[in-house]
Structure 1
Amino acid sequence: MKDVPSPLSDTALVPARVVRAELGGISDMTLWRWLHRPDLEFPEPVLISRRRYWRRQDLETWKRSRFAPRARQKQQGEP
């Protein structure tokens, strides 16, 4: 099955394999660890027939919250 990028809509569901690829090709074990680390605040999946899916909006919100502060620091000339 060919991996097709998910549409950027609020209701789009993204399967675990696509989530892992979008986050730099992380392993399933890394994804599991992130889900079990409360300090990371990684979004909870939706389970459908024992398969994990994430809401596109939740993933995008999490990425902005995790990566935005560093981008702002670099723009302001901070280390």
Structure 2
Amino acid sequence: MEGVGWFATIVIGILAGFIAEKVMSRSHGLITNLIVGLVGALLGGWLAGVLGIAFHGWWASLLVSSVGAIVLLFLLGIFRGRPSA
């Protein structure tokens, strides 16, 4: 995530995990939301790079992280046999 610092990265991770949790109708705690959001940020950043989408700044990082976290929860749901939203 370019254009944001470490503290903003943590806040974005928590928010992205929270957004993904609500979109996918799941129930997690704060730490799980942070982990899902940060891993989702890596996944979302990778997907954006593959698709040739450049993003910079707080809002774009939140959007990419949230999409990545949603994809992550969707994929985990498929592998665990849990129905998606």
Report the TM-score, using the length of structure 2 for normalisation: 0.32
Of the two, which has the highest radius of gyration?
Answer: 1
Structure of higher RCO (CA pairs closer than 8 Å, 6+ residues apart): 2
User: Larger % of strand: which?
Assistant: 1
User: Larger % of helix: which?
Assistant: 2
